[in-house]
Copies of this chain bind each other. A is one copy, B any other.
Amino acid sequence: MSYTIKDVAKHANVSIATVSRVLNGLSGYSKATEEKVLQAIKELEYQPNAIARGLISKKSNTVGILFPEVSSQFSAKILRGVEEAVHRLGSSVIVCNTASHGQRTMKYLQLLSEKRVDGILFVSESITEEFYKTLDSMKIPVVLISTESYQYPFPFVKVDDKHAAFTATDYLVRMGHSKIGMLGGNKEDLIAGQPRIDGYKQALAQSGLPINEQSIIHSLGFSFKDGFTGLPKLLEQSSDLTAIFAASDALALGAISAAYKLGVKIPDELSIIGYDNLPIAEMAIPPLTTVAQPLEEMGMVATEMLFSMMEQGRRVESRILPHCVIERESVKEIKPI
């Protein structure tokens, strides 16, 4: 059992109130008592009990973060930014892996509520009515990362998916491509799925290029496997493609592996641009050209938003962070005909 403020008080021959004062850097004691107290703290190696502090201050100095999948590179990068900012701001972060499972998410929300976390970060998933209700009843700030809600008023930080997809596709156009296919994620996904398809189509339309539904593959997810199985299908449907926009880096890597198996040379016979700029992008062969989302920064910005809501008690503006294309070697410039 470690020492309490009482022990320190006794040791320093002062009251616990005085100890509390020097502990919290308040005024109301002489230099001499401060010395005495500090000395006692050092001698006893006293550590204030954050739980007792939390009980009275009604602050746990802890925030919760919910991921559909903590072990993905995507989540890990966001977590890195969050962890950095949270600690800089004097708090800790509890991580929860929801596995995109509603009931599990509810259990976590319950848990975080009982633990009296000061705020919640919600990543990638969409907010159901059930989530909203309990989030709302907790009366603590919530910030969404890499997702948004059209129905519920939570501030968010993300990239403009449609715009980023436009940028990726437009980059391909500028590199001389006109037969451009897309390896899409789940089109039911209104936040990260459909908007990227819209951006792709808009880029094509803006350059006067035809939009052909045969040139799009809609996968169920954004995974390597989806890309691996998706590419052959896409090439079968549209054999004259010279470039592909993949809606995630994992999808793109899967496509590259499939292309390798098919003997299709990247980028000589087929160019590919990805989306995310995960660490794997630069490990690809060839290194993957991709549209970067500033994941760590998104985590940091979201955390800062959360804290300013916690401190000032008022809502904060959502933030759209800039994306940019990272040129590597998976896209080849071709001469327009």
Contact = CB atoms under 8 A, between A and B. Distances in A.
Interface of A: 2, 45, 47-52, 54-55, 60-62, 69-73, 75-77, 79-80, 83-84, 87, 92-97, 108, 110-111, 113-116, 137, 139, 224, 250, 253-254, 256-257, 260, 279-280, 282-287, 296
A87 B76 CA distance: 19
A124 to B, nearest CB: 15
B71 A60 contact: no
A87 to B, nearest CB: 7
Given A55-B51, A253-B283, A92 B94 contact: yes
Which of A83, A137, A296 is most buried by chain B, counting CB atoms within 10 A of its CB?
A: A83
A77 B71 contact: yes
A70 B79 contact: yes
A105 to B, nearest CB: 12
Determine how many copies of this chain the complex contains.
2
Q: Report the 8 A-B pairs with minimum CB-CB distance, sorted nearest first.
A: A71-B80, A76-B76, A71-B76, A50-B114, A92-B94, A51-B54, A50-B115, A253-B283
Which of A45, A76, A96 is most buried by chain B, counting CB atoms within 10 A of its CB?
A: A76
A253 B284 CA distance: 8
Which of A52, A60, A115 is most buried by chain B, counting CB atoms within 10 A of its CB?
A: A115
A80 B62 CA distance: 20
Contacts of A250: 283
Given A73-B76, A92-B115, A95-B95, A51 B45 contact: no
A71 B45 CA distance: 34
Contact of A111 (B45, B71, B92, B254): B92
Given A45-B137, A55-B55, A71-B79, 13 more contacts: A48-B114, A51-B51, A52-B55, A70-B80, A71-B73, A71-B80, A73-B73, A73-B279, A87-B96, A92-B115, A254-B283, A260-B285, A280-B283
Contact of A97 (B51, B84, B108, B137): B84
